[in-house]
Amino acid sequence: MTNINLPGPATAALLARHPLLQGLPPGLLPEVVAGLLRGASPLRAEPGQVLFGEGDEAFHYLLVESGQAEVVRYGYNGDERVFRVFEPGQLIAEAAMFMPHGRYPMQARARSPLLAWRLCRHQLHDACRRWPDLALKLLAALSKNLYDQVNKVDWMTSSSAPERLANYLMGLRERQGSTVTLPLSQRQLAAHLGIRAETLSRLLNDWQTQGYVSGKRRQWAVQDPAYLARLATTAKRPF
């Protein structure tokens, strides 16, 4: 009988498919996965439940098995900003396992009924020492995230509100198809894009009137991808 408090073969297979582990020698992969899952414990949460708080000691990172989670941070004025939504198969806060202050820089909470696995910080550190290829993969992933954030800051300080929204919608379209579901509320999306909620609402209404998009609330169809692609072009980097 399978112990539901221990990660089973399905969880191991989910972790093995993570990009962090891609490219490792096939014969080594099961050993690395087993090492990372050693000491893991399940975390079940209902929508809105906090998984860890900003400033909490970062002893674990999370592997999402089912449901969705989001990481958020509150500004000095109390406004909430959602930085990212996590889906099954993704890791949350693996970078926090290496921060010198040893604390989570953001809050994570469940967006839907969630099953995740708490993976131990010390097991990740041990795995990086034992398998340098894993450490290099992790370093490459962290470097890419840093590069993406530099590009995002540059984009946010030099782009217009229509360009930011077009770039965001085209990114969703690449992943979801011509009909997209916004993972954030419109107020959260406006904060994510660095624009006013009223500006976002006006843009969507104007674009719907002109036939570029159609929909309401979180469900939208991109009717004129060529128009949005032209607006989003300046967000593309040559490498």
For position 235, what pLDDT does the model report? 62
Secondary structure (3-state) at 73: strand
For position 82, what pLDDT does the model report? 86
Q: Quick check: 67 and 113 in contact, CB under 8 A?
A: yes
d(CA 89, CA 16): 9
For position 215, what pLDDT does the model report? 94
d(CA 173, CA 149): 21
Residue of 64, 52, 57 lying closest to 109 (CA atoms): 52
Q: Quick check: 42 and 5 in contact, CB under 8 A?
A: yes
CA dihedral for 203, 209, 213, 218, sign (positive or negative): positive
For position 209, what pLDDT does the model report? 95
Residue of 82, 71, 55 lying closest to 108 (CA atoms): 71
d(CA 225, CA 221): 10
Backbone angles phi, psi at 62, to 5 degrees: -120, 140
Q: Quick check: 162 and 54 in contact, CB under 8 A?
A: no
Pairing label, strands 41-45, 114-120: antiparallel
For position 1, what pLDDT does the model report? 39
Question: pLDDT tens per residue, the chain (239 residues)?
Answer: 346 688 999 999 999 999 999 888 888 899 999 999 999 999 999 999 999 999 999 999 999 999 999 999 887 776 788 888 999 999 999 999 999 999 999 999 999 999 999 999 999 999 999 999 999 999 999 999 888 888 888 887 888 999 999 999 999 999 999 899 998 888 889 988 989 999 999 999 999 999 999 998 899 999 999 999 998 887 666 66
Measured CA to CA in angstroms, residue 195 lies from 13, 39, 151, 182, 189 at distances of: 40, 43, 18, 16, 9
CB-based contacts of 203, cutoff 8 Å, min separation 6? 161, 162, 165
